[in-house]
Structure 1
Amino acid sequence: MNFDSKAFLATLTELPGVYRMLDAGGVVLYVGKAKNLKKRVASYFRDNLASPRIAHMVSQIASIETTSTRTEAEALLLENNLIKSLSPRYNILFRDDKSYPYIVLTRGDFPRLGFYRGNPDRKADYFGPYPSSWAVRDSIHLLQKMFRLRTCEDTVFANRSRPCLLYQIKRCSGPCVEYISTEDYARDVQLASMFLLGKQQEVTKRLTESMEAAASRLAFEQAAVYRDQIQSLHQVQEKQFVSSSKGEDVDIVVALKEAGQLCVNLAMVRGGRHLGDRPLFPSNAGDSSASDAAAAFIRQHYALHPAPARLLVAPMLAAEEKTEAESALAELAGRPVPIQDGRSLLYKAWLDMALQNARLAILARNQATAHQGRRLAALQEALQLPEAIARIECFDISHTQGEATVASCVVYQDNGMKKADYRRFNIRDIQPGDDYAAMRQAVTRRYGSIAAGEGRAPDLILIDGGKGQVSSAYAALADLGLAHLPMLGVAKGEERKPGLETLIFPEGREPLQLPPEHPALHLIQEVRDEAHRFAITGHRAQRGKARKTSKLESLPGVGPARRKALVNRFGGLPGVLVASVEQLAEVPGISRDLAEKIYSALH
Structure 2
Amino acid sequence: MSNTSLEIQLKTLPNQPGVYQYFDSDGKILYIGKAKNLKKRVSSYFNKQHDYGKTRVLVKKIATIKHIVVDTETDALLLENNLIKKYQPRYNVMLKDDKSYPWICIKNERFPRVFSTRRVIKDGSEYFGPYTSMKTVSTLLNLIKGLFQLRTCNYDLSQEKIDANKYKVCLEYHLGNCKGACEGYETETEYHANIDAIKEILKGNFKDSLSQFKQQMKDYAEDMQFEEAQKIKEKIEVLENYQSKSTIVNPKISNVDVFSIVSDESYGYINFLQLSYGSIIRSHTLEIKKKLQETDVELLELAITELRQRFNSKSKEIYVPFKVNIGEHIKTTIPKLGDKKHILDLSLRNAKYYRMERFKQVKITDPDRHVNRIMAQMKADLRLSEEPRHIECFDNSNIQGTNPVAACVVFKDGKPSKKDYRHFNIKTVEGPDDFASMEEVVFRRYKRLLDEDQPLPQLIVIDGGKGQLSSALKSLDVLGLRGKIAIIGIAKRLEELFYPDDPIPLYLDKKSETLKIIQQLRNEAHRFGIEHHRNKRSKSALNTELETIPGIGEKTVVELLKTFKSARRVSNAKLDELEDAVGKSKADKIYNYYHN
> Alignment partner of 1:13: what SS?
coil
Q: What's the offset of the Cα at 1:316?
A: 2.2
Aligned to 1:144: 145
- Taking the aligned partners of 1:167 and 1:8, their CA distance within structure 2 comes to 75
Q: Which residue of the other structure, out of 249, 252, 265, is the alignment partner of 2:255?
A: 249
The correspondence of residues 371-390 of structure 1 with structure 2, limited to 5 A, is 371-373=364-366
Specify the alignment match of 2:330 in structure 1: 337
2:353 aligned with 1:360: yes
Shift of 1:165: 5.3
Residue of structure 1 equivalent to 2:293: 287
Aligned length: 362
CA shift, 1:20, in A, is: 0.5
State the secondary structure of the residue aligned to 2:48. Answer: coil
| Alignment correspondent of 2:284 | 278
Report the residue type matching 2:131 in the other structure: Y
Give 1:214 deviation, angstroms: 2.0
Q: SS at the partner of 2:220?
A: helix
Give the structure 2 partner of residue 90 of structure 1.
Answer: 91
The corresponding residue for 2:82 is 81
The one-letter code sitting in structure 2 at the alignment partner of 1:342 is P
Contact 1:17-1:72 at 8 Å conserved across structures: yes
Aligned positions of 1:10-29 closer than 5 A: 10-29=11-30
Question: After the TM superposition, which parts of structure 1 deviate over 6 Å for at least 4 consecutive aligned residues?
Answer: 155-160
Q: What is the aligned partner in structure 1 of residue 32 from structure 2?
A: 31
Quick one: which amino acid aligns to residue 61 of structure 2?
Q
Opposite residue 351 of structure 2, the aligned amino acid is A
> What's the secondary structure of 1:302's corresponding residue?
helix
Query: How far is the alpha carbon of 1:156 from its aligned partner?
Result: 11
The C-alpha deviation readout for 1:477-513, integer Å capped at 9, x for no partner, is xxxxxxxxxxxxxxxxxxxxxxxxxxxxxxxxxxxxx
Q: Distance in 1 between matches of 2:111 and 2:213?
A: 20
| Pick aligned residue for 1:200 from 195, 203, 206 | 206
State the alpha-carbon separation in 1 of the partners of residues 352 and 301 from structure 2: 19
Taking the TM superposition and a 5 Å limit, the aligned residue runs for 1:11-410 are: 11-47=12-48, 53-69=54-70, 72-98=73-99, 100-118=101-119, 121=122, 123-154=124-155, 161-164=168-171, 168=175, 172-176=178-182, 178=184, 180-240=186-246, 242-246=248-252, 248-258=254-264, 261-285=267-291, 287-310=293-316, 312-317=318-323, 322-323=324-325, 325-327=326-328, 336-373=329-366
CA–CA distance in 1 between the matches of 2:170 and 2:253?
35
Cα contact 1:253–1:312 (8 A) shared by 2: yes
Per the TM alignment, residue 235 of structure 1 is displaced from its structure 2 partner at its CA by 0.5
- For 1:16 and 1:374, how far apart are their aligned partners in 2? 42
Deviation at 1:227, TM superposition (A): 1.6
Q: CA deviation at 1:123?
A: 0.8
Distance 2:281 2:129 in 1: 10
SS of 2:224's equivalent in the other structure is coil
The 8 Å contact of residues 267 and 290 in structure 2, kept in 1 or not, is answered as no
2:195 partner letter: V
Amino acid at match of 2:335: G
Alignment of 1:492-571 (within 5 A): none
1:164-217: per-residue Cα shift (whole Å, max 9, x none)? 45973x655454455544333222112212222333222212221122122212
Tell me by how many angstroms 1:63 deviates.
1.7
Matched letter for residue 170 of structure 2: P
SS at match of 2:67: strand
1:411-422 to 2 correspondence within 5 Å? none
Change (3 A) 1:171 1:287: farther
Deviation, structure 1 residue 21: 1.0
Deviation at residue 61 of structure 1 after TM alignment: 1.9
Alpha-carbon distance in 2 for matches of 1:287, 1:41:
17
Q: Secondary structure at the match of 1:222?
A: helix
TM-score norm. by structure 2 comes to 0.54
Larger Rg belongs to? 2
**Whole-Å Cα distance in 1 between the matches of residues 49 and 367 of structure 2?**
43
How many angstroms apart in 2 are the aligned matches of 1:58 and 1:138? 51
Aligned-partner SS, 1:91: coil
In angstroms, what is the RMSD of aligned CA positions?
3.5
Say if 1:130 and 1:136, in contact at 8 Å, map to a contact too. Answer: yes
For the 8 Å contact 2:248–2:280, the answer to whether it is kept is: yes
Determine if contact 1:101/1:133 at 8 Å carries over to the other structure: yes
Inter-partner Cα distance in structure 1 for 2:157 and 2:345: 45
2:476 corresponds in structure 1 to none
Give the whole-Å Cα distance in 2 for the aligned partners of 1:68 and 1:177.
60
Alignment partners' CA distance in 2, 1:363 and 1:350: 20
Q: Indicate the SS of the match to 2:313.
A: coil
Q: What displacement does 1:340 show?
A: 2.2
Task: Tell me the amino acid that sits aligned with residue 148 of structure 2.
Answer: F
Secondary structure of the corresponding residue to residue 282 of structure 1: strand
Worse-superposed segment, 258-267 or 135-144: 258-267
Report sequence identity in percent: 28
Q: Give the secondary-structure state (helix, strand or coil) at the position aligned to 1:281.
A: strand
1:547-601 CA distances to partner (integer Å, 9 max, x unpaired)?
xxxxxxxxxxxxxxxxxxxxxxxxxxxxxxxxxxxxxxxxxxxxxxxxxxxxxxx
- Whole-angstrom distance in 1 between the partners of 2:290 and 2:207: 46
1:249 alignment partner AA:
N
Deviation string, structure 1 residues 264-319 (Cα, Å, up to 9, x no partner): 222222343213422222245453333322112123333454333245454424xx
Quick one: distance in 2 between partners of 1:50 and 1:303? Answer: 33
Query: Aligned in 2, Cα 1:204/1:262: closer, same or farther, shift over 3 Å?
Result: same
Against the structure 1 CA distance between its residues 89 and 204, is the aligned structure 2 distance closer, same or farther, given a 3 Å change threshold? same
CA offsets per residue over residues 380-424 of structure 1, 9 Å max, x none?
xxxxxxxxxxxxxxxxxxxxxxxxxxxxxxxxxxxxxxxxxxxxx
Q: Is the 8 A contact 1:9 1:38 kept in 2?
A: yes
The 2-side partners of 1:139 and 1:207 are apart by 18
| Distance in 2 (alpha carbons) for counterparts of 1:344 and 1:112 | 43
- Corresponding residue SS for 2:66: strand
